[in-house]
Amino acid sequence: MTLLLSFFFIMMQIVIWNCNGGIKKDVKNRCRNFIKNYNVAMIILLETHVSGIRSESIARAMGRNWRFQSIDAVGRSGGILMAWRDDAGLVTCIQRSRQALHAIITIDNGPTWVLSSVYSSVKLSEQRKLWKELEKIGGLNLPWLTCGDFNAICSPDDKLGGKPFSFSPKNRAFSEFISTSGIIDLGFEGPAFTWCNNQDIRSRVWVRLDRAFANPDWISLFPGVRVKHLVRAASDHAPLLIMVKGDEIQGRRPFRFEAFWFEYDECGKVVERTWQSAAKGNPLHSFTHRVCNLRRALLNWNKEGVGNLETNLISTAADINYYESLEANSSISQNDIVKLNSLYNKHNALLRQINTKWWQKARIRWAQNGDLNTKFFHNTTRIRRHRNRINFIKCSNGVHATNQVDITNEFCRFYLSLWMPNTRTDSMPVSWPDLPAISQENAEVLIKPIEDLEIKQALWSMPNGKAPGPDGLQAEFFKNYWDIVGLDLCKAIKHFFLHANLPKGWGQTYITLVPKKENPSRVADFRPISLCNVCYKIISKILVNRLKPLLPTLIGYEQAAFVAGRDISDNILAAQELAHTMVNNKKDHPMMIVKYDMEKAYDRVRWDSVTTVLSLMRFPIKWVNWIMACISSPTYAFIINGKASDWIQPAGGLRQGDPLSPYLFILIAQVLTSLLNEAQSCGSFTGIPVGDNSYLSHLMYADDILITGAISRRNCRGIEAILHKYECLSGQRVNKDKSALYLPDWLSARMKNMVTRWLNLPKGTMPFKYLGSQISGKRVKVEQSNFLVERVRSKLTSWKKNALSLAGRAILIRATLTAIPNYWMTASWIPDSVVDKITQIIRKFLWEKHGGKKGMHLIAWDNITKPLTEGGLNFRNLRKSREAFMARNALKLLNNINLPWVRIMKGKYGELDPWKNPKLTTTSWAWRALNYTVQAIKLGLQISISDGLNTNFLEHPWLFTTPFSKKPTFIATNIGEKVQHINQIIENGEWCYNSIEGLVGEDLVDAITNLQLGEGPDKWVWSLHPQGKARAGSVYSFLNGHTDNCWDGWKQLWGLAVAPRVKTFLWKYFWKRLPTKDFLQQRGLTQSNLCALCGEAAENIQHLFFQCRYSKEVWHIFQLDWGKVINVQQLHDGCWLTSKVPNDLKAMIASILWCIWKSRCATLFNCESFIAPTIFRCAMTFWNAYNPTNKPTNKFAKQSTMDVETIVKWDPPPPGCFKI
């Protein structure tokens, strides 16, 4: 790289500005100021309002050594000027239009990239033209930066003042363009908005109209890019300063065990050899020394024995090209073929290792063991690093820290002050409330001796692929080398539980910082995530596993986090019902909902408070010592932009990322529950009645708190006093800027102002967000759910599609559906139109071609949503998924589980009955959704009989999933007079045969008496699940229907040991939806249907793969005897997939079909030659790469026979050779 290149690409400053008139003197003066103060190499002015020679006069004002390109204004509208210094390299204009100027920027010996300067029209029709133009520029497949005034926004955060943000056609089209183009917003520093209408404060509107986007390739070139919003002057738009920078991070990155090292046998030998070396000290110190020695040994081995994977891949590819050229010239020898086969295997291994390396860096757990999506992982890593990069921090004194040292110091200063124990300012003593306590029996279980099996189970419960702690060793390292390190690890952990003391190395923790919002600027805008060592996390997991069974007795039902049997959806439903009651109940005393945000909740926990709470709950002293040793042992180092800071010692706080922390936190939070309960007992605060002579005062999910009660001065003062006491006892602090008070709209303005003053909180507006869901007293509107559409669209962006195979896209879709809409479906009823929009985005993502071109939807969506075993891709029908997720809540309500929302609904609406049609007027949307759900699934619901007290013989479904009263063939003469409830035919916990005999016929008597009676009260169960649980998957299968008469080949297909992309190819193959020329001609997409290989017959699936003379050559090499095989049609129809042919052979046939298809496409589109030996060899290498036993093709197992004639005859050639 030349010096000029280094200057340009490591630090190049670009200013783009909608100046609203470039000829103005203030604009010219400011451009000269940009050059002087920021050393700007390029200035782009938008909306210049000039043309011709007047554009040249603007460029001359910047200096003699400046060049320019421009787009003339039309009258007094538009105009773009791009000016750059002579030494800024070669800038070539490649396309221009009224709304954009596109240029290619090139430096000698450096990369080439595209810059698009945009001034969008405000008209939607013109904007659509611009989006299509930009999509074509993006299709050049070059690094691409596009910036300017887009005159559209895509998020509520992009606007302040004026009409509320809505997904208007203009904003929706802009959002779709961003997704389709695969570009990423580069973010910003400085003020949040770039345009202002400059009116008085009541009418003032701020909008972020100007921004910069880039594709992943451009971000890979310039990972240090920064965008700064400069001061808005001389125009109503703020200039954007784009600082184009490479990666400046200095210093060594922390050690990390690379996942691809597992593929090397030598790695295991290094581990074993190093681990067997002598180490002094107790088991804990001895283990620590061995880990330190192992890290050094692995680094040395990697440097000497592995080397650079990318360099090795290039060298291997060059060797393959040499031998393939010999093969093409028919001058290859048998020894050369053996070498070529070895090179193919080496090449595949290197590809797999590179893919594994970038998968590990990308931290995408859903994309394991699939296709080699290296580009996808690489881009994901680059984008994540860019978004997590900290370019500046606004310090407490208002100064901006921009260099690595100052940024690191500010984080250390902030958290050290946060972790110091906060001292109370008042002298009044604060007493602790009464807390639930554990029994002596449970206390003994907690401190029983640790077993090796318990240690191993804790380790194996940890997922693979997680970021490691400071020792660099992930959970999978200890799992893979358990036979070597397991014994010493168990000894070390047992030593801790004997002495309750951890050495320094075990407590060391990295803190990685994750932005809590877009464009963070302060330390508080980042969430600290602790990366603990795996050996410490095993200790923590053991403690958690022993603690979890006791939590239901220690934690009040108001807390829904981390307690078995409670879900986040429980609190969301409760909050919805509270909001509905508050908004609609005008008869009773008005109520309020107060949402409290606790500032840095985990970091503010005092260690002495943990000790006190554990003691008050009567945990054993030994247990308390274990806990305190864990939470007081850490030393922290911040990972900022990939570099670790110096170690610092905290004096308080809990680690976010430590398995133990959330459980300790909810024990601390129980103090607030106890304080509220005590206040209700003494009358200083009262919650709301919930219909069963009890009151509900609050909801909690970890540190998310809702407090509710009647509006009164006494309640407000009580809440203030309780929270003050809780802060003093626990170290917590309410963030009043993020907390809010919600009141019914019909309440008088005077009363609203009074309550606001009493609580000293801002008044919020409905709907409000709680636990990620919109809480509203009315039905969920489309506008309130549109954020889901944008969330899904942002996950399924075009760059991901371009970097993924069809199989990879399918996996991403399934993962996205699980992560996004499914979460809201557990507690919300998403409108049909929103569900349909999400489905449309998914369908487009699955089939769309690269470059945003419309793809052919080869297979009907109804077939795609079928299970894999029925020929689908196991995508969910979202409308039916909505009901399936709500079914679990319906079962909780039917069984009257002691949950806040169940108690509220029971008090408001009474019992839920699947076989009755209740009146739904004036009821909440949640109650309506639950009624709709139980009506849809009632044929899968049944009552499991225990005591029979609450089950009606005729009206409830207890023997079958349909009540007797609803069965047209059942004649109930006088049963209602003899028996009403089931308990009348049960005596002493058993069925009373004599009582049953007189009621029903013999067949039903046997059916009833064969039912096994349970314990406790009767309960509703899901009859299609072995344990009676309404799992979403089971309910969805019921709603979606199931086909028993399915082709067995689908199950065999997805079980093949081949690459996922081969499976999706076969999936289209067996659906007869491969885009052959005959298939395309039938749809009017091509004129000729002749075979792309031989040109002698129509190219359908049967001809292309089995009848074409070129394909026959490949099968001939594979030793298929066409005269004796069963017949081509049977092979074509897939009987080889359902027969007793060995799985290895099935995988080989699949690989050959795949390679024939790929070679056909290469012949058709790239004019490559179809060479049968090369295709066969590639197929065998491809098969071998995914063979679980990794057996070479020359050791293929003995062939089994079918009931008909043998499909394949195989005589293995000599080792290292192929038959031709």
Give the pLDDT confidence of 86-108 residue by residue, as tens digits.
888 788 999 999 999 999 998 66
Mean pLDDT of 406-416: 92
Report yes or no on 1154 lying in a domain.
Answer: yes
CB 1023 within 8 A of CB 942: yes
Query: Both 794 and 726 in a single domain?
Result: no
**How sure is the predictor about 31, in pLDDT bands with cuts at 50, 70 and 90?**
very high
**DSSP code, position 987:** E
Instruction: Yes or no: say if 530 and 509 are a contact pair by the CB < 8 Å rule.
Output: yes
Mean pLDDT, residues 117-133: 94
55 or 621, greater pLDDT: 621
- Which of 857, 876, 895 is the last residue in one of the domains? 876
* Beta bridge partners of residue 145, listed in sequence order: 115, 214
CATH code, domain with 188: 3.60.10.10
On whether both 360 and 502 belong to a single domain, the answer is no
CB atoms within 10 A of CB 122: 10
Q: What letter does residue 656 receive in the DSSP assignment?
A: B
**Distance between alpha carbon 1175 and the CA centroid of its chain, in Å?**
38
Residue type, 884: A
Separation of alpha carbons 1114 and 1220, rounded Å:
9
β-pair partners for 18: 46
Strands (E), 169-225: 184-185, 195-196, 206-207, 210-214
- The enclosing H or E element of 57 equals helix 53-60
Task: Judge whether residue 1066 has pLDDT over 90.
Answer: yes
Report helix, strand or coil for 228.
strand
Q: Tell me, what's the pLDDT at 801?
A: 62
Residue 1216 has pLDDT above 50, yes or no: no
Q: Are residues 115 and 173 in the same domain?
A: yes
C-beta separation of 246 from 10 below 8 A: yes
pLDDT of residue 252: 59
Asked if the bond preceding 767 is cis, omega within 30° of 0, the reply is yes
Which domain does 839 fall in, by range? 782-804+821-876
Structure confidence at residue 1211 as a pLDDT band (50, 70, 90): very low
Q: How many domains does the chain have?
A: 5
Q: Give Cβ neighbours of residue 415 (< 8 Å, ≥ 6 apart).
A: 523, 528, 603, 636, 648, 650
Tokens for 990?
């058993």
SS3 content of the chain, % helix, strand, coil (to 5): 45, 15, 40
Residues facing residue 710 across a β-bridge: 591
Contact criterion met (CB below 8 Å) for 1153 and 1069: yes
Higher pLDDT, 224 or 548: 548
1143-1166 and 1060-1070 are packed helices; what angle lies between their axes, rounded to 10 degrees? 80
Hey, what are 1101's tokens? 């699936």
How much of the chain exceeds pLDDT 70, in percent?
89
Burial of 216 (0-12, 13-18, 19+ CB in 10 A): buried
Instruction: Give the pLDDT band of residue 1210 (cuts 50, 70, 90).
Output: very low
Q: Is 37 within the bounds of a domain?
A: yes
Q: Are residues 492 and 524 in the same domain?
A: yes
> At 235, phi and psi to the nearest 5?
-165, 160
The whole-angstrom separation of Cα 547 and Cα 531 is 22
Give dist(CA 635, CA 649) in Å, integer.
5
pLDDT exceeds 90 at position 8: no
What share of the chain in percent tops pLDDT 90? 46
Residue 1055 domain-assigned (yes or no) = yes
Cα separation, 420 vs 650, in Å, equals 7
Average pLDDT over residues 501-522: 90
- pLDDT (tens digit, 9 = 90+) per residue, 934-963? 999 999 999 999 998 989 888 899 999 999
Structural domain ending residue among the three candidates 226, 244, 262 = 244
Pair 551, 564: CB distance under 8 Å: yes
Which of 710, 670, 703 is CA-nearest to residue 687?
710
Q: Of the ranges 409-418, 718-727, 1042-1051, which one carries the lowest mean pLDDT score? A: 1042-1051
Q: Strand runs (DSSP E) across 654-703, as ranges?
A: 688-689, 695-696, 698-701
pLDDT at 1194: 33
* Cα first-last separation, the chain: 49
Strands (E), 487-605: 508-515, 526-532, 591-597
Is residue 757 domain-shared with residue 797, that is, in the same domain?
no
pLDDT given at position 274? 93
**Residue 331 confidence class, pLDDT cut points 50, 70, 90:** confident
Asked if 154 and 171 touch (Cβ cutoff 8 Å), the reply is yes
As a whole number of Å, the CA-based R_g of the chain is 34
Cα dihedral value 873, 878, 880, 884, nearest 10: 100
Q: Is residue 709 part of a domain?
A: yes
Are residues 484 and 517 part of one domain? yes
Q: Is 563 exposed, middle or buried (0-12, 13-18, 19+ CB in 10 A)?
A: middle
Specify whether 768 is located in the same domain as 798.
Answer: no
The H-assigned helical ranges of 632-660 are none
Average pLDDT, the chain: 85
Residues 342 and 462 in one domain: no
Residue entry with tokens 């540190």:
703
Other CB atoms within a 10 A radius of the CB of residue 120 amount to 22
193 is a domain residue: yes
**Between these two residues, 25 and 373, which has the higher pLDDT value?**
25
**582: nearest Cα among 761, 701, 742:** 742
What is the distance between the alpha carbons of residues 739 and 1180, in angstroms, rounded to a whole number?
Answer: 63
Residue 150: phi, psi to the nearest 5? -95, -10
Q: Characterize the bridge pairing of strands 773-775 and 768-770.
A: antiparallel
Which pLDDT band, with edges at 50, 70 and 90, does 1200 fall under? very low
CA-based nearest residue to 815, from 1211, 376, 266: 376
Euclidean distance between CA atoms 861 and 842, whole angstroms: 10
Provide the pLDDT for residue 424: 52
By the 8 A CB rule, do 855 and 847 touch?
Answer: yes
* Domain shared by 696 and 652, yes or no: yes
Say whether both 513 and 610 belong to one domain.
yes
Mean predicted confidence (pLDDT) in 378-384: 67
For residue 1182, give the nearest of 713, 1077, 1174 by alpha carbon: 1174
For residue 376, pLDDT beyond 70: no
Answer yes or no: do 1063 and 1115 share one domain: yes
Residue 279 tokens, joined? 């180490």
> Residue 573 pLDDT more than 90?
yes
How high is the pLDDT of residue 476? 93
Is residue 457 one of the residues assigned to a domain?
A: yes
Q: Which residues fall within 8 angstroms of residue 1146, CB to CB, at 6 or more apart?
A: 1052, 1056, 1136, 1137
Q: Are the C-beta atoms of 110 and 134 separated by less than 8 Å?
A: no
State whether the Cα torsion 1066-1067-1070-1076 is positive or negative: negative
pLDDT at 618: 96
Q: Is 924 a member of any domain?
A: no
Considering the domain architecture, whether residues 356 and 228 belong to the same structural domain is answered as: no
Answer yes or no: is 888 within a domain.
no
Q: What is residue 563's predicted lDDT score, i.e. its pLDDT?
A: 93
